[in-house]
């Protein structure tokens, strides 16, 4: 009976554990059990009209797909809505796929067999020409397509850069392979756009082609251009500044690669009038713009050309060391060419836009100081040079427990005790003295006569505090007199011995 009862309890415990595990699995979010598989694709050169195709077995499921380019840019269904989403397949199309390693990350549960293919889009159709003309918010497009069906679905799309197919569809119509069509820009936000034609044939076969020119579209309710907008490089960062506009509720910052047209940055900021961003060193020139926004509508703007500056031959030399015992320093600035110099001490401007190279005097205050020099080239790019200094002109504290100056002692030593500033270096007559948390006890050896003692405390900035004392050890002090008596007695005894010795020799003779 006892054995049956034990088995029953074990069974109940096992059942309880199984039930708890089942409830836990049901309560956990599905994302906990999702699996991620990464596919790597290496392109040895830039590819045009490139496609990534992801296929999975269980068509009732839908994975999350993230494609990461060699430069670190990511693409999903959210920022590439043109990706075809069919049953059990997703296809991402790129007008230009950059050179390097691409990563395709697929996350999902219960997808079944998963495959990923990538390559240049095969197509029967060849768009031999595509051009657009725009007047106001209306546009006309014309095209010619070879090796295609007589009638196609023809779509006009607008995107902010010509590197990746995407953006917003402006029109869709059935038309001939050589035909014209109209479209409207009224649904677009203000901006600079590239238009492309997407020709779709039977079975979903399609081809895409950009027009040659970029168009600029500004809505009627767009705010005007910002005042005093500037773009330049601040060291290795893009630096954009502008004047505040009262009507704006935010500002849109855009940076482009002029060689490809790709939009490198598109960010909306609020409550600021400057922006900085870092970009790959492989890109040497940029186009930048900033626009005032109101109620989600981008205002008018103008692109500004920016190139990385060369500061070869520019040198800014600060004094050595960081701890100083003087409030005045000289900074040497050397350059030749079209440069100007500005300088600041902490948050205070010392000089601005000086075209003179040479020595610059900086008067600091006691304490921590940040000295910054800014060299600007002819294009407005700025290179910063700075150094932190700690100025301390106050001598270190040095206190003596017992003043021994003027004392006289018959001992062959005397003790000097006291305290100095923690971190200060202490020396006695040039020899370093050990301290413990600033406290010291020094045994000073004394010779007969006057003894000069000099105790010096030196802090990190070079400030010094001194204590000097003159201590006398008399010639006829107790110890010295004892030695003198001993010497005299020794001499007398030696003389007596010599006299007795000589007399003894004479008697023998």
Residue 153 · residue 174 · CB < 8 Å: yes
* One domain for residues 354 and 421: no
Write the DSSP symbol of residue 394.
Answer: S
DSSP per-residue codes, 68-117: E-TTS-EE-TTT-TTSEEETTEEEEEEEEE-SEEEEEEEEESS--SEEEE
Burial (CB < 10 A; 0-12, 13-18, 19+), residue 387, is middle
* Count of Cβ atoms closer than 10 Å to residue 240 Cβ: 25
| CATH number of the domain to which 88 belongs | 2.60.120.380
Digit-coded pLDDT (tens) for 188-202: 999 999 999 998 887
What pLDDT does residue 211 have?
93
Q: Which long-range contacts (CB under 8 A, 24 or more apart) does 74-81 make?
A: 75/164, 79/166, 80/164, 80/166, 81/166
Average pLDDT over residues 392-405: 89
Q: How far is residue 169 from each of residues 158, 159, 467, measured CA to CA in Å? A: 6, 9, 87
| CATH number of the domain to which 210 belongs | 2.60.40.10
Q: How many domains, in total, are found in the chain?
A: 5
Residue 489, domain member (yes or no):
no
- Is the pLDDT at 119 greater than 70, yes or no? yes
Residue 504, domain member (yes or no):
no
- Is the pLDDT at 88 greater than 70, yes or no? yes
* One domain for residues 381 and 404: no
What pLDDT does residue 27 have?
45
Q: What are phi and psi of 27, to 5 degrees?
A: -80, -30
- Name the more confident of 293 and 448: 293
CA dist 306 and 287 (Å) reads 6
Range of the domain at 159: 126-217
Give the residue from 214, 225, 240, 241 showing the smallest Cα distance to 301. Answer: 225
Residue 496, domain member (yes or no):
no
Average pLDDT over residues 456-480: 83
Average pLDDT score over the chain:
86
CA dist 56 and 114 (Å) reads 4
Digit-coded pLDDT (tens) for 344-389: 999 899 999 999 999 999 999 999 999 999 999 999 999 999 999 9
Share of the chain above pLDDT 70, in %: 88
* One domain for residues 116 and 130: no
Burial (CB < 10 A; 0-12, 13-18, 19+), residue 106, is buried
* One domain for residues 106 and 53: yes
Least confident of 79-88, 144-153, 333-342, 357-366: 79-88
H-run or E-run covering 486:
helix 478-508
- Is the pLDDT at 185 greater than 90, yes or no? yes
Digit-coded pLDDT (tens) for 37-59: 999 999 999 888 788 888 888 88
Digit-coded pLDDT (tens) for 255-284: 999 988 889 999 999 999 999 999 989 899
3-state secondary structure of 496: helix
Digit-coded pLDDT (tens) for 143-154: 999 888 888 899
Final residue in a domain of this structure, among 157, 184, 217: 217
Residue 490, domain member (yes or no):
no
Digit-coded pLDDT (tens) for 279-317: 989 899 999 999 999 999 999 999 999 999 889 999 999
Which range has highest mean pLDDT (17-26, 191-200, 478-487)?
191-200
Average pLDDT over residues 1-11: 39
Final residue in a domain of this structure, among 346, 366, 391: 391
* One domain for residues 116 and 168: no
Share of the chain above pLDDT 90, in %: 56
Residue 11, domain member (yes or no):
no
Least confident of 72-76, 116-120, 186-190: 116-120
CA dist 366 and 392 (Å) reads 6
What pLDDT does residue 205 have?
72
H-run or E-run covering 14:
helix 2-27
Q: Residue 460: which pLDDT band, with cuts at 50, 70 and 90? A: confident
Residue 245, domain member (yes or no):
yes
* One domain for residues 409 and 373: no
pTM of structure: 0.65
Q: Residue 241: which pLDDT band, with cuts at 50, 70 and 90? A: very high
CA dist 194 and 163 (Å) reads 10
Write the DSSP symbol of residue 167.
Answer: S
Residue 167, domain member (yes or no):
yes
Place of tokens 């402006």: 170
Residue 236, domain member (yes or no):
yes
Final residue in a domain of this structure, among 250, 285, 307: 307
What pLDDT does residue 479 have?
59
């Amino acid at each position: 009976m006892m054995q049956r009862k034990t088995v029953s309890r074990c069974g109940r415990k096992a059942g309880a554990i199984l039930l708890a595990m089942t409830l836990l699995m049901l309560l956990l979010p599905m994302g906990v059990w999702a699996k991620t598989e990464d596919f790597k694709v290496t392109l040895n050169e830039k590819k045009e009209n490139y496609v990534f195709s992801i296929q999975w077995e269980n068509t009732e499921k839908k994975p999350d797909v993230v494609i990461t380019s060699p430069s670190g840019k990511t693409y999903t269904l959210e920022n590439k809505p043109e990706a075809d989403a069919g049953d059990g397949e997703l296809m991402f199309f790129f007008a230009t796929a950059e050179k390097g390693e691409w990563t395709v990350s697929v996350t999902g549960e219960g997808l079944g067999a998963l495959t990923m293919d990538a390559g240049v889009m095969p197509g029967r159709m060849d768009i031999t020409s595509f051009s657009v003309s725009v007047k106001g918010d209306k546009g006309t497009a014309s095209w010619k397509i070879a090796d295609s069906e007589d009638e196609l679905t023809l779509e006009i799309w607008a995107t902010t850069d010509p590197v990746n197919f995407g953006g917003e569809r402006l029109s869709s119509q059935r038309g001939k392979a050589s035909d014209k069509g109209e479209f409207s820009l009224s649904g677009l936000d203000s901006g600079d756009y590239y238009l492309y034609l997407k020709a779709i044939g039977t079975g979903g076969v399609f081809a895409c082609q950009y027009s040659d020119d970029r168009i600029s579209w500004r809505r009627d309710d767009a705010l005007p251009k910002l005042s005093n907008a500037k773009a330049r490089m601040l060291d290795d960062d893009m630096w954009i500044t502008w004047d505040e506009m009262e009507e704006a509720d935010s500002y849109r910052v855009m940076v482009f690669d002029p060689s490809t047209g790709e939009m490198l940055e598109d960010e909306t900021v609020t409550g600021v009038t400057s922006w900085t961003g870092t970009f790959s060193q492989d890109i040497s020139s940029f186009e930048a713009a900033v626009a005032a926004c109101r109620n989600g509508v981008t205002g008018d703007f103008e692109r500004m050309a920016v190139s990385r500056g060369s500061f070869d031959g520019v040198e800014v030399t600060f004094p050595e060391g960081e701890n100083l015992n003087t409030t005045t320093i000289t900074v040497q600035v050397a350059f030749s060419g079209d440069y100007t110099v500005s300088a600041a001490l902490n948050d205070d401007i010392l000089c601005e836009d000086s075209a003179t190279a040479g020595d610059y005097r900086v008067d600091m205050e006691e304490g921590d100081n940040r000295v910054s020099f800014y060299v600007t080239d002819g294009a407005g790019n700025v290179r910063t040079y700075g150094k932190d200094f700690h100025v301390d002109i106050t001598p270190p504290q040095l206190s003596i427990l017992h003043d021994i100056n003027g004392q006289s002692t018959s001992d062959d030593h005397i003790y000097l005790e006291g305290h100095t500033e923690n971190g200060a270096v202490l020396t006695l007559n040039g020899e370093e003295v050990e301290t413990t948390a600033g406290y010291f006890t020094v045994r000073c050896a004394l010779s007969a006569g006057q003894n000069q003692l000099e105790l010096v405390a030196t802090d990190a900035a070079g400030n010094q505090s001194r204590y000097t004392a003159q201590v006398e050890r008399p010639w006829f002090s107790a110890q010295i007199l004892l030695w003198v008596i001993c010497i005299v007695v020794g001499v007398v005894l030696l003389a007596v011995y010599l006299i007795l010795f000589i007399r003894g020799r004479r008697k023998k003779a």
